[in-house]
Amino acid sequence: MSDRYKNSKKAFEMAARLMPGGVNSPVRALKSVGGTPFFASKGRGAYIYDIDGNEYIDYVLSWGPLILGHCHEEVIDAVMNAAFQGFSFGAPTEREAVLCEMIREAFPSVEMARLVSSGTEAVMSAIRVARGFTGRDKIVKFAGCYHGHADYLLVKAGSGAMTFGTPDSKGVPEDFARLTATLPYNDIEAVRQLFSAEGDRIAAVIVEPVVGNMGTILPREGFLETLRELCTAHGAVLIFDEVMTGFRVAYGGAQELFGIKPDMTALGKVIGGGLPVGAYGGKREIMENVSPLGAVYQAGTLSGNPLSVSAGIAALTVLKREMPYQYLENKTKKLCAGLEETAKKKGIAARTNSCGSMWTVFFTDTDVYDLDTAKRSDTTMFARFYHAMRDRGVSLPPSQFEAAFLSIAHGDAEIEKTIEAFESSIYSCLI
């Protein structure tokens, strides 16, 4: 490792003695690309800085929530004002209802919502409510979609479309995994087969409508429509995990973009403005099963935390006022086109997928539309590329299978610098 990362190296050595892998979330340890992570010190606009003083154009953006960029002034003001009034109360505040109303206005499918503290908690709770509402136990998920680390969601596919899954992590009981079917994303026929055999036993189907956790992957025509059709026909609950896409690919999320109305929605990331928060909600008849109205129990001492809620209200206020989605999509398309053109000139197999301000460059010569096609990517090439880009001042997600993001703070100068860094990085990876 060069001298430019010496302070991060020391910090990582200390952290590794105190925390598993030296991190508090696995991907930060860079296992898939090797090397040592840089330790962040601050962020401003489109840039993040490490403790060695290095500056990077940031395309991680805290894994998506910073759609306004780092330290947006209105978000900072909202958090500061809230902090002076109190960090946490364990009692309701008016701001919780304000944020829920903003969610309801943007997502008409969410007639009632419950605030929680993370995306994992939102998804876990939504599934519990769906099971309570339907009186059924089995759920359906899709390979490559990540919905947090609840036991019954850490399940890999069985041996075929008709086979329920097996644990994907130690510590997950096999009995939990048997209640989860994992199908290929975008495979309409596999979904039809499963519903034909198990439809009256399925409580819910959960899906990332646009996937961000095997890289950015879009739904093929008819896929989301088929999920809606089959869930309606069989009385199952359709859950959109919009933790990543909500307020990111459109103000009303992927369900606005594709015109599909789910029964329940899980949200996070952007609705906290960069602070920890999540939410789940949906049809009133479903949400009225949640305690204290109904028998499905869910609670959280820090749910609706005033700092997070205030940051979220500020962030959504800016988004609603400025509606920057066309700007973000245009900049993302410009970046992706530049990366593909550069790769082609260099004779490198690379494809980009994008949706709104989510994007991924895959080192492959085939289209990427599910986990199997994503896995055809050259991960060794990506690892070299990741470090080459970082050395040139561009911070990307440290995995071929994670989405990158743009913010409204990213302008033409950052796009052009990134494309230049890409060209230089590709060249260095080839010699």
| Farthest-apart Cα atoms in the chain, separation | 65
State the Cα–Cα distance between residues 274 and 71, nearest whole angstrom.
9
Cross-strand bridge partners of residue 239: 206, 264
Do 283 and 109 contact (CB within 8 A), yes or no?
yes
Active-site pick, 47, 56, 146, 152: 146
* Domain spans in the chain, listed from the N-terminal domain onward: 3-67+325-430, 73-322
Rg of the chain (C-alpha set): 21
Q: At what angle do helices 379-391 and 412-430 cross, to 10 degrees?
A: 120
What predicted TM-score, i.e. pTM, was given to this entire model?
Answer: 0.95
Left (φ > 0), alpha (ψ -120 to 50) or beta: where does 2 sit? beta
Judge whether 59 counts as a catalytic residue. Answer: no
Q: Which residues, at least 6 apart from 85, have a Cβ–Cβ distance to it below 8 Å?
A: 306
pLDDT at 173 (0 to 100): 76
The ranges of the chain with pLDDT < 50 are: 1, 158-163
Question: Beta partners for 353?
Answer: 360
Using the CB atoms, write b or e for 22-54: b if 16+ within 10 Å.
bbeeebbbbebbebbbbbbeebebbbbbbbbeb
CATH topology (fold) of 3-67+325-430: Aspartate Aminotransferase, domain 1 (3.90.1150)
Specify the pairing of strand 278-282 against strand 264-267.
Answer: antiparallel
Residue among 249, 247, 411, 246 nearest 319 (CA): 247
| Token code pair at residue 110 | 């969410």
Q: CB-side exposure of 397: number of CA atoms within 13 Å?
A: 26
Residue of 241, 263, 325, 331 marked catalytic: 241
Active site residue 77: no
Q: What was the pLDDT predicted at 170?
A: 79
426, 348 Cβ separation under 8 angstroms: yes
Of the residues 9, 141, 269, 331, only one is catalytic, namely 269
Q: Return d(Cα 414, Cα 327) in angstroms, integer.
A: 14
Contact 310, 82 (CB under 8 A): yes
Chain centroid to CA 49: how far?
A: 23
E-strand spans in 95-194?
112-116, 138-143, 155-156, 166-167, 180-184
pLDDT tens by residue, 158-196: 444 444 556 677 777 777 778 999 999 999 999 999 999
Give the CATH number of domain 73-322.
3.40.640.10
Q: Give yes or no for a contact between 415 and 341, defined as CB atoms under 8 angstroms apart.
A: no
pLDDT tens profile 257-271: 999 999 999 999 999
Burial class (CB in 10 A: 0-12, 13-18, 19+), 326: exposed
Specify the pLDDT at position 159.
40
Clarify whether 47 is annotated catalytic: no
Same topology for domains 3-67+325-430 and 73-322, yes or no? no
Q: How distant, in Å, are the alpha carbons of 49, 274, 394 from that of 61? A: 12, 9, 12
Reported for 175-179, long-range contacts at CB under 8 A and 24+ positions apart, including other chains, are 176/151, 176/152, 177/152, 179/137, 179/138, 179/139, 179/152
- Token match 């055809």: residue? 376
